[in-house]
């Protein structure tokens, strides 16, 4: 079965993203190395535009549209990072964007999405029409193109550009054999990185990292069939809570990923505290699960070095204060 994207799609996405997305740094701290018992290279996607890697996929997808299609505008469903990534990419290209957000999304995320020039349409989760129905009718009315958060080839290709950077930066740091721990929701980021590493750094292997109770990808990999989560809420790691792995992303992970790792919400908060104290960066809970796995699941990892992503930093002050309390 052929896969939805190839390394050529990722390289093409990199071409479109050059000069727009940031090449985020990869940092290392002797203090974190000490906790983990090995070198820990941390890829800081919290420093990406809009505070998460999602800008890569948003820009990649919108910039890949035909000009006429692009001019009619785009639509996305998201309460968080995908919303901001798509909205800001559209804003920079002068493309109209409609973002459908739950009415109970954090006020700051709604405000940010609006500040990036998007039209925000709020919907009530329970009872009323589904967001898919609402979104589809808006898309049909206005001729908008739906930008899905992960099961979308050009989004996956955009996220994969982060993997090209990891390959180059790890080699520069002298690391050519290691696990690459990736914060994993639907698998767009993880599968994109996996394909990039397969091509550019075959000694690096992705491993999805998820919150306990929301380890659909880990279980899907372990059992060989697509597993769902029993719930869509109940963890503070909102950025990586998805009902099930993507249909396009899972086969790539089955072919290329190592076993999944899971961490508790408390582990994620502690990792946020370490990122604050040792790297001087802001991680959100879902963006800290891979660092948490690197630090606190060291016995499930092999080798002299491990690479992990901090996938985003869009966290409110009250939640961040909880992370500070772990120090």
Q: How far is the CB of 325 from its own copies (least distance, A)?
A: 7
Nearer residue to its own copies within complex by CB, 25 or 303: 25
Q: How far is the CB of 134 from its own copies (least distance, A)?
A: 28
Cβ–Cβ < 8 Å for 183, 313: no
Query: Which are the contacts of 149, defined by CB distance < 8 A and separation ≥ 6?
Result: 54, 57, 76, 77, 78, 82, 155, 185, 186, 188
Nearest-angstrom CA–CA distance, 287 and 283? 6
Residue span 103-122 as binding mask against its own copies, x where in contact by CB under 8 A, dash where not: -----x---x--xx------
Question: What burial letters (b/e) apply to 130-155, b meaning 16+ CB within 10 Å?
Answer: ebeebbeebbeeeebbbbbbbbbbbb
Sign, Cα dihedral of 47, 50, 51, 53: negative
Q: How far is the CB of 259 from its own copies (least distance, A)?
A: 30
Nearer residue to its own copies within complex by CB, 162 or 279: 279
Q: How far is the CB of 317 from its own copies (least distance, A)?
A: 4
Binding of its own copies by 80 (CB under 8 A): no
Nearer residue to its own copies within complex by CB, 113 or 229: 113
The interface region with its own copies, picked from 95-103, 135-143, 205-213, 315-323 by CB under 8 A, is 315-323
Nearer residue to its own copies within complex by CB, 240 or 279: 279
| Tokens read off for 149 | 């958060």
**224 half-sphere exposure, CB direction, 13 A CA radius:** 0
Nearest-angstrom CA–CA distance, 207 and 301? 10
Q: How far is the CB of 174 from its own copies (least distance, A)?
A: 11
Cβ–Cβ < 8 Å for 55, 89: yes
Nearer residue to its own copies within complex by CB, 14 or 116: 116
Secondary structure of 60-111 as H, E, C letters:
HHHHCCCHHHHHHCEEEECCCHHHHHHHHHHHHHCCCEEEEEECCCCHHHHH
Closest CA to 272 of 288, 293, 290: 288
The interface region with its own copies, picked from 178-186, 240-248, 296-304, 319-327 by CB under 8 A, is 319-327
Binding of its own copies by 214 (CB under 8 A): no
Q: Of residues 149-178, which lie at the interface with its own copies (CB under 8 A)? A: none
Q: Of residues 265-304, which lie at the interface with its own copies (CB under 8 A)? A: 273, 276-277, 279-282
Q: Of residues 21-50, which lie at the interface with its own copies (CB under 8 A)? A: 22, 24-25, 27, 30-31, 46-47
Binding of its own copies by 53 (CB under 8 A): no
Task: Tell me which residues touch its own copies (CB under 8 A).
Answer: 22, 24-25, 27, 30-31, 46-47, 51, 108, 112, 115-116, 273, 276-277, 279-282, 313, 317, 320-321, 324-325, 327
């Amino acid at each position: 079965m052929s896969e939805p994207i190839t390394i050529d799609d990722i390289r093409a996405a990199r071409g479109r993203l050059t000069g727009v997305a940031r090449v985020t740094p990869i940092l290392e701290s002797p203090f974190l190395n000490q906790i983990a018992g090995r070198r820990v290279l941390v890829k800081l996607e919290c420093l990406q535009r809009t505070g998460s890697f999602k800008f890569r996929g948003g820009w990649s997808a919108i910039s890949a549209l035909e000009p006429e299609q692009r001019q009619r505008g785009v639509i996305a469903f998201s309460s968080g990072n995908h919303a901001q990534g798509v909205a800001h990419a559209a804003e920079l290209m002068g493309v109209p964007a409609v973002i459908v957000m739950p009415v109970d999304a954090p006020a700051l995320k709604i405000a940010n999405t609006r500040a990036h020039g998007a039209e925000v349409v709020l919907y009530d989760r329970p009872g009323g029409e589904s967001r898919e129905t609402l979104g589809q009718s808006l898309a049909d009315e206005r001729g908008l193109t739906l930008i899905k958060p992960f099961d979308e080839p050009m989004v996956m290709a955009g996220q994969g550009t982060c993997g090209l950077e990891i390959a180059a930066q790890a080699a520069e740091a002298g690391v050519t054999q290691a696990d690459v721990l990736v914060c994993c929701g639907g698998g767009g980021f993880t599968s994109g990185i996996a394909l990039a590493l397969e091509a550019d750094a075959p000694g690096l292997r992705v491993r999805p990292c998820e919150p306990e109770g929301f380890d659909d990808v880990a279980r899907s990999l372990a059992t060989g069939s697509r597993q769902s989560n029993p719930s869509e809420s109940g963890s503070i790691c909102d950025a990586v809570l998805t009902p099930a792995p993507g249909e396009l992303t899972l086969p790539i992970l089955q072919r290329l990923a190592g076993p999944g790792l899971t961490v508790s919400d408390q582990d994620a908060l502690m990792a946020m505290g370490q990122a604050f104290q040792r790297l001087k960066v802001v991680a959100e809970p879902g963006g800290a699960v891979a660092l948490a796995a690197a630090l606190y699941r060291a016995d499930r990892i092999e080798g002299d070095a491990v690479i992990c992503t901090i996938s985003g930093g869009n966290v409110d002050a009250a939640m961040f204060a909880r992370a500070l309390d772990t120090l």
